[in-house]
Amino acid sequence: MGRMFRVLGFWTLVIGLMSLAGDMIPMALIFFFQTALFVILGYLKLQEKTYILMFWGYMVIAFMGFTYWSVFKLTI
């Protein structure tokens, strides 16, 4: 299961590099932070249940942030 977090780290790195190339600096920094977090978690050798709970927690926080941004910060 730790390998999956390293794969997530790779894809967030790719997204971060593409956003950096597109001059979206804040988005790039967010994805670089996520890359570091995923790679570190990938090498911790935790139990599978712990990885799943941490991923669900990450998804809840990410979707709450996306919903907040979409409703309150985006102009229509």
**Structural domain harbouring 62:** 2-73
Counted domains in the chain = 1
The pLDDT-based confidence of 73 (bands split at 50, 70, 90) is: confident
Confidence at residue 1, expressed as pLDDT on a 0 to 100 scale: 75
Tokens of 63: 């979707």
On the question of pLDDT at 2 being above 90, the answer is: no
pLDDT tens digits, residue range 4-62?
889 999 999 999 999 999 999 999 999 999 999 999 999 998 899 999 999 999 999 99
Model confidence, pTM: 0.81
